[in-house]
Structure 1
Amino acid sequence: MHKIDFKKLKVVILALASLALCGRGRWITAWAQCNFPAIYNFGDTNSDTGGISAAFGPIPSPYGESFFGRPAGRYSDGRLIIDFIAENLGLPYVSSYLDSLGADFRHGANFAAGASTIVIQNETIFESGISPFSLEVQTTQFDQFKSRTYDLYQQATDPLDKTTLPRPNEFSRALYTFDIGQNDLSAAVRKLTGAQLEAVIPKMVNRFAMVLTRLYLQGARAFWIHNIGPIGWLPVATLHIRNQKPGLLDKVGCMQRLNRMVVEFNRQLKARVTNLRAELPYAAFNFIDIYSAKYDLISNAKIYGFRDPMKICCGIHESYMDVDVWCGQRAIINYTEVFGGSCGTADTYISWDGVHFSEAANHWIANRVLNGSYSDPPMPISKSCLTS
């Protein structure tokens, strides 16, 4: 009777495990870290690290005051969730693709731009104020970025010329992150009928899926997709509500109609991502329930050490006078110039400026989602290259 060599058997089992995962698109073992070399981000204001600022003019003070000590292209007093993603993965903050000065693209690029939408503007009835940098435009910018990267990398003869360029062979190993859609729904709820809204949501989901497929065909394999947060909470939407109708707000103070549309979009997007896992089997699609994480924070603000979630840190808002001086702006009130400045204690506020989260809130949310607690499949971002 032959003796079993357990050392050799262990080697064979490990090899088979590796081959099984390789068959799903990667040579990686189930217990390994993904070691992403870069992040490529697509989105709106929630993850814009300088796109709109570079395109249309700098964001004023006191934006950026809590962390950067100055405006840093972000609509917050400090870091965004995308910044905490980079920190978690041991990567530098992701430079905006539109920022021509001081940018370093060695470890990725950020194509997000404030007020961006999934569906391009001329295909909707959205009013002015929507960014021209739709998700499709951002993807086209990525196409150009990737092509130019390859050309410049091949042409470079001095190693120093390559220090700020991503490696062409690292695009397939990078993490592709998404946080977009709230501007589509915010504008649609204001402008469309119920029937029109029902038609817009599938169109948004289809466009999103087309972009994911397009990137997959170019070699992208690891996707980290945030659903839309509870935009019915945004204090700007409820600042001066009078004669409140029954059912307008939920028990937390959120606009129920807005949040219902968000929940329906999130349901359809998750179902489509599930289908994409079967259609594109060599990719890892991680669907993040950012809605639930944010709603938990808003619903239990005081338990988590924050103030009333409807309170705004930056700007002047007096409901009884219908006065609004937005963060960083100046206005004349009663013949006196006033400035929409900071409360000075942003770390206790969820809302920074009535529309965007404070750094403290972003940090709280990031801590909850990056460990996999709100992910489908449930795995931390460091392992999100693994297919389920």
Structure 2
Amino acid sequence: MASRCCLLQWLLLAIAAAAAADSCNFPAIFNFGDSNSDTGGLSAAFGAAGPPHGETFFGKPAGRYCDGRLVVDFIASSLGLPFLSAYLDSVGTNFSHGANFATAGSTIRPPFGTLRQSGFSPIAMDVQTWQFSQFKSRSQALIQQGLFKDQLPKEEYFSRALYTIDIGQNDLTEGYFRNLTTEEVKSTIPDILDKFVLAIQSIYWEGGRYFWIHNTGPFGCLPYVLDTLSLRAPEVDRFGCGSPFNHVAQLFNRKLNETLGRLRKDLPLAVFTYVDVFSVKRELLSHAHRHGFELPLVSCCGHGGRYNYNKEIGCGAKVIRNGKEVLLGKACEDPSKRIVWDGVHYTDAANKWIFEQIVEGKFSDPPVPIRLACKANKL
């Protein structure tokens, strides 16, 4: 009996060792993007996202425009890494396992106006990659001085890390907000992707090798687009989503995938995984009830209207009435049943569902699980 027990233990250890050898063992994540992956950048720079953001998972605001976790949080956990600290958050941060350069409202191209004028972050992707370059050089200089070794990534982590990127949607919606036609928005895509290439090249020359890149989602299904931009392109599909907006997103995604094909040739040491989150989100929004959700086009947290979205009264908004503070932007009773949190972003529950669909590579090109994203070119 004792020998059998020892044999079983040996087999379990062998299986665990094989599984570990079969993974990339990413020691860090460096993330670039917009609000879909911002874990506190915009909050640190321009004012915190207040309650009820964060209420479901964190029990308080946590820098995210969500009631809980984002897809990047689930990615980090799946790789055995802590949640990413925002690069711009200078208080109580630990960057030993990576950093997050994303900010809500960010674009690939520099925005056509200030944050106050346009609503889009000035921290575009070129700024994020410049911050990354500064972070790398300054963190290593501090480590060489014997400082903050427990709070900063080791030098070798930069070439072994996973670089996650989720950005592009705001470039497309910004065009509509500047009153461009659908055809005019489409015409901006080549320039947007040219700027994207420059950003990737910048990361590559700093040592980045393993890229996990999300395409853009079906923004024609989001309440803020349906409520604010419906007059720009009123056609809807059978699920109630704005058809022209989603067609633009699909065109952008095709061109993005083609761009990554060229980057694979131009940057031979890099490994690129293209992740089709558009299809995952489209399935969830189109067949919400099938997946345990309800009211797919209606915000959980908001105020009034067909989509429970009002750009003037956002999630958590309060007003003074008769000398008393009144909360107008209230959260729904059960966010776990809803897909859209505040008219723009997804709920914790939806983000978890999306992550579960993409983690094993079913929607990736090449079709590899995230734990093997360093080996995509070899499989």
Measured against the shorter chain, the TM-score band is: 0.7 to 0.9
Between the aligned partners of 2:206 and 2:305, the Cα distance in structure 1 is 51
Q: Normalising to structure 2: TM-score of the pair? A: 0.88
Between the aligned partners of 2:332 and 2:321, the Cα distance in structure 1 is 19
Between the aligned partners of 1:256 and 1:47, the Cα distance in structure 2 is 25
Answer yes or no: is the 8 Å Cα contact 1:282–1:387 preserved in 2: no
**In the alignment, does 2:194 pair up with 1:214?**
no
Q: Normalising to structure 1: TM-score of the pair? A: 0.86
Answer yes or no: is the 8 Å Cα contact 2:31–2:164 preserved in 1: yes
Answer yes or no: is the 8 Å Cα contact 1:40–1:177 preserved in 2: yes
The answer for unaligned runs of 5 or more in structure 2 is 1-18
- Among residues 306, 309, 312, which one is paired with 2:296 in the alignment? 309
- Among residues 157, 172, 181, which one is paired with 2:159 in the alignment? 172
Between the aligned partners of 1:36 and 1:44, the Cα distance in structure 2 is 23
- Once the two structures are TM-superposed, the CA of residue 340 in structure 1 deviates from its matched residue by 1.3
- Once the two structures are TM-superposed, the CA of residue 207 in structure 1 deviates from its matched residue by 0.9
- Among residues 68, 71, 82, which one is paired with 2:61 in the alignment? 71
Answer yes or no: is the 8 Å Cα contact 2:223–2:307 preserved in 1: no
State the structure with more CA Rg. 1
* SS in structure 2 of the partner of residue 317 of structure 1: coil
The answer for unaligned runs of 5 or more in structure 1 is 1-28
* SS in structure 1 of the partner of residue 96 of structure 2: coil
- Among residues 354, 366, 372, which one is paired with 2:343 in the alignment? 354
Between the aligned partners of 2:163 and 2:229, the Cα distance in structure 1 is 39
**In the alignment, does 2:111 pair up with 1:111?**
no
Between the aligned partners of 1:165 and 1:385, the Cα distance in structure 2 is 22
Q: 1:316 to 1:99 in 2, by over 3 A?
A: same
Answer yes or no: is the 8 Å Cα contact 2:110–2:124 preserved in 1: yes
What's 1:23 paired with?
none
**Farther off after superposition, 210-219 or 330-339:** 330-339
- Once the two structures are TM-superposed, the CA of residue 199 in structure 1 deviates from its matched residue by 2.9
How many positions carry a matched residue from both structures? 356
Between the aligned partners of 2:158 and 2:232, the Cα distance in structure 1 is 51
Q: 1:208 to 1:349 in 2, by over 3 A?
A: same
- Once the two structures are TM-superposed, the CA of residue 189 in structure 1 deviates from its matched residue by 2.4
- Among residues 43, 54, 58, which one is paired with 2:44 in the alignment? 54
- Once the two structures are TM-superposed, the CA of residue 212 in structure 1 deviates from its matched residue by 1.1
Instruction: Please list every run of at least 4 consecutive aligned residues from structure 1 whose deviation after the TM superposition is greater than 4 angstroms.
Output: 244-247, 319-324, 332-336
Between the aligned partners of 1:186 and 1:71, the Cα distance in structure 2 is 26
- Once the two structures are TM-superposed, the CA of residue 321 in structure 1 deviates from its matched residue by 11
* SS in structure 1 of the partner of residue 289 of structure 2: coil
- Once the two structures are TM-superposed, the CA of residue 249 in structure 1 deviates from its matched residue by 0.6
Answer yes or no: is the 8 Å Cα contact 1:240–1:319 preserved in 2: no
Q: 1:331 to 1:373 in 2, by over 3 A?
A: same
**In the alignment, does 2:317 pair up with 1:329?**
yes
What's 2:189 paired with?
201
* SS in structure 2 of the partner of residue 331 of structure 1: strand
What's 2:258 paired with?
271
Query: Percent identity between the aligned chains?
Result: 47
Q: Which amino acid aligns with 2:48?
A: P
Answer yes or no: is the 8 Å Cα contact 1:287–1:375 preserved in 2: yes
